[in-house]
Amino acid sequence: MTSTNLMTCIDVAARALALEQGRTPVGIYVRLSEDKALRAGSEGREEGEQVAEQRRRLHEAAPNLGCVIVREYNDNNTPASDPFIVRRDFEQMLKDLESGEIRGFLFTHSDRVARLEYDAARVNRLFTMFPSYVGRALDGGTDLSTQEGRTMFMVQATMGAYEVHNTKRRVSGTNKSRALKGKKHGGPRAFGWNEDGTLHPKESKDLLEAVRAIPGGKLVGEVRKEWIDEGYTPKANKRSRESGNNWTLQHSTVEARLVNPRNCGYVVYIPQQLHRESSRLWLPDHVLYKDGKPVIGDWEAACTPEEWAACVSAIETRKESNREGNPNHDTSPAYFLTGIARCGECFFPMRASLYTKGTGAYAKYRFRYQCRSSLGGCGGVSRVGPPVDDLVETAFLDDLRKRLKKSKVKVEVVDPTKNDARLKEIAWEKDQVKIRRNEKRISVIEAMDAIEHLEKEEAQLVKETRQLQAAKARATIDTDEKILTEWVDYTTSEKRARLKHSIRAVLIHQVGRGKRFDPAYIEILWTKDEQNTAPNTPAT
């Protein structure tokens, strides 16, 4: 429903003529919660057959009731039972009633006007203040000008609210029952899938590539840029439809698509109330479990559970690092040694900055690594960046080749199912607590304490299982042979992530002014202990 549904102004001439002739200037109110057959109505409004029929009946009845219609209020396709939804024309009608612009309104039935006690009370207040106003329903006999009519109006709204509550409870139970069976819940098409639930040939391919690339160091921002270049846009919502804007794909939208458990076939169940309480939920925490295992949906998965878990684990790690203010947190995809290069004098993380004095082969790169005093460093060391990058990259790739020649690296055996038995036990224990409480064998406090303790353990085990799945996926992502084969195709972020597995830090030592680049002043600290027993000593 948009503001165009409202007639722009009171028909002043009709209002004046009605008062002159002793007839009452009124409005009419029409509404349908969900209009599935919209068509172009009069005055450019969008309405379906049922709303059009409401308007027709009200216009026919007005003369017989001694009224002249001077304004129409149309909240089509807008529910009246949701306290979070504002009905714009309903609100405007209340304002016009209070100001005297209209002296009543007509409606087909009370449930078109109010399905909540609060709304009924607001209407009754105005008709109590102005007892001469006309407020008539064509069906149900409601007359708001009488105390009996207002009482009946409130009772009908109360019963309507009760009916809505019961309907929501039944629907919620049905939705969870369907989710436990792996059935897809209604809603807009998910990214990566067609309307019929089959995989979208292009979107699913791009989604899979991104899910696999994130654990290897690719940033969500890099995926977002690629998807924007591909022409992907966010799902249309009410706000975008009303404004007519083509909304840009946001970072949070891309992240939500990447971590969606649906990608690997897992079912997510989130009660509507939880949606209301939080506008941005972390979907991996809402996977539906049955007998200790995730419920599998009846759609084709876009990736494996291990690939999805590795993607989620990588993003969670980055978020935690960012929240903790870690100086090594990777935010820039542009520089190879961000978060790795450190000052050889004070060990503070060095930052890259533009450098306009580069000459020779490295002039086009124009950046250098600096220990910045403004950030907490000593400020005494800086070095042109590209030669350092080349030196470290060559050393890293040479180390990989040597390892491949020596022996095949043993892949650690990871068992992601080791927590399944305990998760199944927890599900059974929670059911037993509920049974004991229903039989009044334990108090509410005892039941809550037991449930909260089990839920905490369950959440920890679920997260640990996800990390085990991620470890299993990483074992196939980062083999030495695969890194060497695909190195030239990696983004800077992906290269840097793999570098961190082998290199703990790169110390850049101070040199005198005017000296040419000297590799002796660059010290690589490897993560392997045996390579750090006798580190390079910088020249003096």
Cα–Cα distance, 332 to 41 (Å, whole number) = 54
Please report which confidence band the pLDDT of residue 105 belongs to, taking 50, 70 and 90 as the band edges: very high
Cα–Cα distance, 82 to 167 (Å, whole number) = 13
User: Which alpha helices (H) appear in 278-335, and where do they start and end?
Assistant: 305-323
Q: Is residue 360 within 8 Å of residue 322, measured between CB atoms? A: no
Q: Quick one: 510 exposed, middle or buried, by C-beta within 10 A (0-12, 13-18, 19+)?
A: middle
| 116 SS3 class | coil
User: Which alpha helices (H) appear in 8-87, and where do they start and end?
Assistant: 12-20, 49-64
Mean pLDDT in residue range 337-363: 78
Q: Quick one: 143 exposed, middle or buried, by C-beta within 10 A (0-12, 13-18, 19+)?
A: middle
State residue 104's pLDDT score: 94
Cα–Cα distance, 212 to 308 (Å, whole number) = 8
More confident residue, 430 or 181: 430
Cα–Cα distance, 114 to 107 (Å, whole number) = 11
Residue type, 43: E
Cα–Cα distance, 264 to 26 (Å, whole number) = 57
Please report which confidence band the pLDDT of residue 56 belongs to, taking 50, 70 and 90 as the band edges: very high
Please report which confidence band the pLDDT of residue 168 belongs to, taking 50, 70 and 90 as the band edges: low
Q: Is residue 105 within 8 Å of residue 93, measured between CB atoms? A: yes
State residue 323's pLDDT score: 64
Give the number of other Cβ atoms within 10 Å of residue 508's Cβ: 25
Q: Tell me how many degrees the CA angle 282-285-291 measures, rounded to the nearest 5.
A: 160
Cα–Cα distance, 323 to 442 (Å, whole number) = 41
**Tens-place pLDDT, residues 253-304:** 899 999 999 999 998 877 766 655 555 788 888 888 887 788 888 888 999 9
Output the average pLDDT for the chain: 80
Element (H, E) at 353: strand 351-354
Q: Is residue 483 within 8 Å of residue 398, measured between CB atoms? A: no
Chain centroid to Cα 315, Å, comes to 14
pLDDT of 173 strictly over 80: no
Mean pLDDT in residue range 186-203: 85
Q: Quick one: 463 exposed, middle or buried, by C-beta within 10 A (0-12, 13-18, 19+)?
A: middle
Q: Which two tokens stand for residue 438?
A: 């229903």
Mean pLDDT in residue range 353-358: 68
Q: Quick one: 275 exposed, middle or buried, by C-beta within 10 A (0-12, 13-18, 19+)?
A: exposed
Cα–Cα distance, 82 to 93 (Å, whole number) = 18
Residues 6+ apart with CB under 8 A from 24: 18, 66, 67, 68, 103, 104, 133, 134
Considering the entire predicted model, what is its pTM?
0.57
